[in-house]
Amino acid sequence: MKILLIGGTGTISTEISRQLLAQGHELYLINRGNRNSELPGGAHVIQGDVNDEALMARKLEGLEFDAVADFIAFVPSQLERDYRLFARRTKQFLFISSASAYQKPLSDYRITEGTPLANPYWEYSRNKIACEEYLMELYRREGFPVTIVRPSHTYDQRSVPLGVHGAQGSWQVVQRMREGKPVIIHGDGSSLWTMTHARDFAPGFIGLLGNIHALGEAVQITSDETLTWNQIYRSIARALGVELKPYYIASSSLAAWDTGDLYGSLLGDKANSVVFDNAKLKRLVPGFTATIRFDQGVRETLDYVLSHPELQVPDPEFDAWCDRLIPGLDSLAGSVVHRNP
């Protein structure tokens, strides 16, 4: 197949690109060229900013595709642009939405594609919902061949997936573990979560390409493995060969004290227990199964990150925030105990 990915070097799309090329597909990437080292060899790169619609229209002239997938659209206006660019150039258009779009709080912990979409806590998720609604209206009104894909927490070898970290990513939490410092875990660590390795995600996604049964459908792609956050953090500590020193703080408190995006990413996503039912994906892509257990996958990720210094991005602001927050809460807890023996 002849496939175009808008993006192609992200956590999910890099592995999809690799596997598509390994299978012999003709792959095109629209990419700004900011991460040239991540571009897979053998792909046709259309370099430029997809937001420059006039430039893209010129570069796409004469090209048609079996499938086009946008990994970097976040608001409906970007999909309106995609529609103008690709309505007559592709047999299938795939939009990468998000499982965070599912209702919060959940009425049932088991999530299927029929779970309602509603997230009052996170603008990111509300924008994804608006994108889905725009595309599905195009499908109903004009037959635009859309497939919506909903990933949850997907990771690759370049970054350790965690619940609470700073703006610079997860490395500082890993470093705190290595230094024997306490690390913050939201809630009491007992809520359920699902981690999916990009190498497992990619076959599910590729199985939807050119799949006539996927047109007009929304499909979630996740592992079937369910973990508590305590298990997630313990797996990371075990892979590092260190003792985990967890410090539990209510998600609502963290959201109130943080100046970043914890309000949305915790209350609108990670603080909620989730168990995904992937039966629909397995009907559409027979034989799909996620095979990489989290403890195995995160060990591989840590090995890679520890051997690539450029991925070890320090976050002194987040580190200082943890160092201020934890002793302050310990002091408060001690005073409460003192007053109420």
pLDDT at 136: 98
Which stretch of DSSP H or E encloses residue 46? strand 44-47
Residue numbers of the domain that contains 136? 92-337
Q: What is the pLDDT of residues 88-146, one digit of tens each?
A: 999 999 999 999 999 998 888 899 999 999 999 999 999 999 999 999 999 999 999 99
The DSSP result for 79-121, as a single string, is: HHHHHHHHTTTBS-EEEE--GGGB-SS-SSSEE-TTSPB--TT
Give the pLDDT confidence of 229-283 residue by residue, as tens digits: 999 999 999 999 999 999 999 999 999 887 678 899 999 999 999 999 999 999 9
Radius of gyration of the chain (CA): 21
Q: What is the pLDDT of residue 36?
A: 59
20 within domain boundaries: no
**pLDDT tens column, 208-238:** 999 999 999 999 999 999 999 999 999 999 9
pTM: 0.93
- The pLDDT of residue 34 is 63
Using alpha carbons only, what angle is made at residue 261 by residues 253 and 265, rounded to the nearest 5 degrees?
Answer: 80
Question: The domain spanning residue 323 has which CATH number?
Answer: 3.40.50.720
**Collapsing DSSP states into helix, strand and coil, what is residue 28?**
strand
For residue 171, pLDDT over 80 is answered with yes
What does the mean pLDDT of the chain come to? 93
Could you give the number of structural domains in the chain? 1
- Residue 34, domain member (yes or no): no
13 part of a folded domain: no
Residue 130 lies in a domain: yes
